[in-house]
Chains A and B, each alone.
Chain A
Amino acid sequence: DAMVIQNPRYQVTQFGKPVTLSCSQTLNHNVMYWYQQKSSQAPKLLFHYYDKDFNNEADTPDNFQSRRPNTSFCFLDIRSPGLGDAAMYLCATSRDLGIREQYFGPGTRLTVT
């Protein structure tokens, strides 16, 4: 089945230690998104890639970066995680920017100790 895969499902990192979360998709979609979801809150868009074009949301901290080496993979890098960055990180895809339906991965729960 075509899908959005996130690895790992659970990640523990230390305060200030860089961490990378991974997302891959078999849908061959042009757009990949990263959301942050804190407990009991709505998912919040961090940034998205349309093909190789990176689009950062205005309020996304500089601590968060992303890479998309090819169509299938997208990475979320947190350069110096703080305790406030503990959250569920969701990856999503859509076929195109004009196609508004998004397909989500299972998420990676990040714990910062």
Chain B
Amino acid sequence: AQSVSQHNHHVILSEAASLELGCNYSYGGTVNLFWYVQYPGQHLQLLLKYFSGDPLVKGIKGFEAEFIKSKFSFNLRKPSVQWSDTAEYFCAVNKDSSYKLIFGSGTRLLVRP
């Protein structure tokens, strides 16, 4: 079945550590890719998105993601996390010309001060 996989369900890091969250999808063809973040008690917010062009995408708050088409991956990275990055992170995929966003099951990140 077509799906979006986030392999790490829970990640715990200390402040200043580097972060990489994995996202893989199983759709063929053209896709649009997103990372959303949900801070405690808040709504889902868009971190960054990839539609086309440079596969290295810069988002808000120092986050970036790299689209590797051959690996069907769109991993999220941040060189140095802060306590305020504690949140749940969702990868989502949209097949071109479709209205549907397919979400991964999320990764809960806890950053210890």
Contacts and interface: CB of A to CB of B under 8 A. Distances in A.
B40 to A, nearest CB: 11
Interface stretch (A12-20, A61-69, A79-87, A96-104): A96-104
A48 B99 contact: yes
Interface of A: 4, 31, 40-45, 48, 50, 90, 92, 94, 97, 100-107
Nearest to B101: A102
A65 to B, nearest CB: 20
B100 to A, nearest CB: 6
A42 B43 contact: no
B32 interface: yes
Contacts of B41: 106
B43 A104 contact: yes
Interface residues of B, number: 23
Contacts, number: 47
B103 A90 contact: no
Given A100-B32, A104-B43, A104-B45, A42 B100 contact: no
Nearest to B95: A100
A40 B43 contact: no
B105 A40 contact: yes
Interface in B58-113: 90, 94, 99-106
Given A42-B4, A42-B106, A48-B99, A90 B9 contact: no
Interface string B33-65: 010100001111110010100000000000000
21 contacts: A4-B43, A31-B99, A40-B9, A40-B105, A40-B106, A42-B102, A42-B103, A42-B105, A50-B99, A90-B43, A90-B44, A97-B99, A100-B32, A100-B94, A100-B99, A101-B34, A101-B46, A104-B43, A104-B44, A106-B42, A106-B43
